[in-house]
Amino acid sequence: MGGHNQPFVLWNEPLFWVFCWAIGGIIGAAINTRKGWDATVGFFGGFILGPVLVWLFLLQSDNKKGMGLKKCPYCAEWVKRKATVCRYCHKELPPDIPVNIPPPQAIPVYPTINFACPSCRQRLSAPCEKAGVTTACRFCKQPVTIPTHSDA
């Protein structure tokens, strides 16, 4: 138990396969009974074939992506990645979305000048490009000239 750092994989557990054999046997017996055949033969057929079918299912599940295939968004059938029309439903396939989407552009930060109104001493700020411009204080409405650099 201790010492090896391998991830837990369900199908590497013997109990998983015993469970598959039992479920396979039960399903095989149920199918044969429903068709009016011998349930014992169905049980043993399912008991033997159940794990084989589970193993095949595990092997093929989503390995198709690595084989150059993609699912049609309309009929869910596997088609070649380069296909432009689905060979099953004959609908036009949307183009593949690129995996590497560039990050959003950073919002530019414009420097501001922070200063105090000489009349009312309220703190004000203005963009750097407004330096030297005279405007009215938004608090006392007295004229204020925006300095060329921020106060300390």
pLDDT tens digit string along 4-46?
555 555 656 777 777 777 877 787 778 778 878 887 877 777 7
Reply yes or no on whether the pLDDT at 70 is more than 50.
yes
Reply yes or no on whether the pLDDT at 136 is more than 90.
yes
Give the span between the Cα atoms of 41 and 64, in whole angstroms.
35
| CB-count exposure of residue 69 (10 Å: 0-12, 13-18, 19+) | middle
109 vs 83, higher pLDDT? 83
